[in-house]
Amino acid sequence: MTTTTGLSGDPDIAGGPSAGAAALECEGCGLIARTGAPTNFDAHCPRCGVLLERADRHGSGAALALAVAASILLGATLVLPFMTLDVLGQQQGSRVASGAGGFADYGLWPIALLVLGTLVLAPALRLGLRLVTLVGMGWDQPPRWLFAAFRWHERLRPWAMAEVFLLGAAVSYNQLANLATVEVGPGAWALALYVAAQAAADGTLVPQTVWRRLQDRGCLADPAALAQVAPRPWEETQVASCPVCRLAHPGGDGQPCPRCGAGLHHRKPAATRRAWALALAAAALYLPANFFPVMAASKLGQGGPHTILAGVAEIAHAGLWPLAIIVFTASIAVPVLKLAGLAVMLVATRRGSAAALVARTRTYRFIADIGRWSMVDVFAVGILAALVKFGAVASVVPGLGALFFAAVVVLTMLAAEAFDPRLMWDAAHARDREAQA
């Protein structure tokens, strides 16, 4: 076995166990690493290169200040006027959440709820959970549910899509500017500032710091079991890790995590079956998503319904090449590449292949991170439908294609989340042991 597969050797991050250090399992390849005190450097897995733990460069004071700033900006984003359209003296205004109304008006309730969830509910809930965690972990005796509160904060991260909506707004702005006079309202600027504040806030709060702080304050499910953690090396197959606080612990599936009390898992339950089912469902819906029109735009009797691909061609035809490339990449290329990538990973896992394990693991992370950007076109259609309501003069009506397309995006995101890249390493290890026996 060559070293490029990453199977030989089992490097350790920080040597032996140290006081206060907790074992952490790499989410990419399942390597058990011990991380010590927080440092100024990001810790990457020495085997697969996936980020294990981000550096903690800021105090919780900065994290709290940024969370408060982001909350104020989110509030401003939601109440201030977003864009106003002027067609032959008639005006139509909108707020950020009008994007949801644009779908609801035409009976496309599932997308209206999706837009509302990703644009308003998920960001607001995340900020609430973040503020609760930051305030609560400063108390002398923090309650143990703070572990779960912050875990939900992390789980909601991919579903809070303000930055994707911002790009969707840029796409729709260019299409609106072709049609009439557009005025960008203060809500749009507040949205841009909120996106920046939220990114900075995400950079200042490191999950491992939260878990450590709660542990240091005695907020523990089973202190005795945590103290008895055996020194390395463990057999990786004997280790389960906590889905909530990521503590790796030598114990069986379903045993309570000694730190936060959640059930430990060796691997994500039914990962392969769930990933296959969700990916196949997404692939099936990809056809109607591209066959039915995503919207019908008309101006003075001109224009008509068009599909995603026709929409891209139209943008390119108007000379807006960078925009056409963005929409093509997000709407056509990303879903196809995601599904193909997942299929390759699932098949390679089944065959126990050791080829390009590191590359596959990194591709998985990339696939899991990029999926949300496919919502760009859905958001753009919502904004257009909410603003362009001038009857026979000009109108945009969202189509069934948008509904199927939004379903494809959600299903591919869930499929990527369901898959467990550690299974690729397990399968290769098992194959390797078989060959040696």
Q: Which of residues 48-87 bind Zn ion (CB under 5 A)?
A: 48, 50
- Round to whole Å and give the CA distance between 336 and 405: 12
**Euclidean distance between CA atoms 321 and 430, whole angstroms:** 49
- In the complex, the smallest distance separating the C-beta of residue 31 from Zn ion, rounded to whole angstroms, is 5
Of the two residues 150 and 165, which places its CB atom closer to Zn ion in the complex?
150
- Span interacting with Zn ion, options 43-51, 186-194, 339-347, 397-405, rule CB under 5 A: 43-51
Judge whether 55 and 40 are in contact, CB under 8 Å. yes
Q: How far is the CB of 27 from Zn ion (least distance, A)?
A: 8
Alpha helices in 80-121 (DSSP H): 98-104, 109-116
Helix residue spans in 138-270 (DSSP H): 145-155, 162-179, 186-204, 207-216, 223-227
Residue 403 interacts with Zn ion (CB under 5 A)?
no
Among 13, 26, 219, 378, binds Zn ion (CB under 5 A): 26
Closer of 75 and 207 to Zn ion (Cβ): 207
Cβ distance to Zn ion smaller for residue 116 or 262: 262
Shortest Cβ 345–Zn ion spacing (Å): 15
Q: How far is the CB of 264 from Zn ion (least distance, A)?
A: 8
Binding segment toward Zn ion, per CB under 5 A, in 42-50, 279-287, 308-316, 324-332: 42-50
For 335, 337, 342, 367, 372, the CA distances from 412, given in Å and listed in that order, are 7, 11, 9, 9, 9
Sort 309 into a burial class: Cβ within 10 Å, 0-12 / 13-18 / 19+. middle
The residues, ordered by sequence, that sit 6+ positions from 254 with a Cβ below 8 Å of its Cβ are 263, 264, 265
How many residues touch Zn ion under the rule CB under 5 A: the total is 15
Indicate the residue among 31 and 201 with the shorter CB distance to Zn ion: 31
Using CB under 5 A as the binding rule, the residues of this chain from 202 to 261 that contact Zn ion are 242, 244-245, 247, 257, 259-260
Name which of 174 and 255 has its Cβ closer to Zn ion. 255
- Minimum distance from residue 330 beta carbon to Zn ion (Å): 29
In terms of CB distance, is 47 or 153 closer to Zn ion?
Answer: 47
Residue 240: CB minimum distance to Zn ion, A:
10
Q: Minimum distance between the CB of residue 430 and Zn ion, rounded to whole angstroms?
A: 17
Question: In the complex with Zn ion, which residue's Cβ is closer, 111 or 245?
Answer: 245
* Under 8 Å between Cβ of 294 and 308: yes
- Cα distances from 421 to residues 10, 28, 402, in angstroms, run 18, 6, 31
Residues 6+ apart with CB under 8 A from 437: none
Single residue of 21, 22, 23, 29 touching Zn ion by CB under 5 A: 29
Work out how close the CB of 131 gets to Zn ion at its nearest, in angstroms, rounded to a whole number.
22
Angle CA(332)–CA(123)–CA(60) in degrees, nearest 5? 125
Distances (CA, A) of 316 to 168, 175, 294, 309, 311: 16, 11, 17, 11, 9
Q: Which residues contact 414 (CB under 8 A, 6 or more apart)?
A: 278
Stretch that binds Zn ion, among 18-26, 189-197, 228-236, 320-328 (CB under 5 A): 18-26
Residues that bind Zn ion (CB under 5 A): 26, 28-29, 31, 45, 47-48, 50, 242, 244-245, 247, 257, 259-260
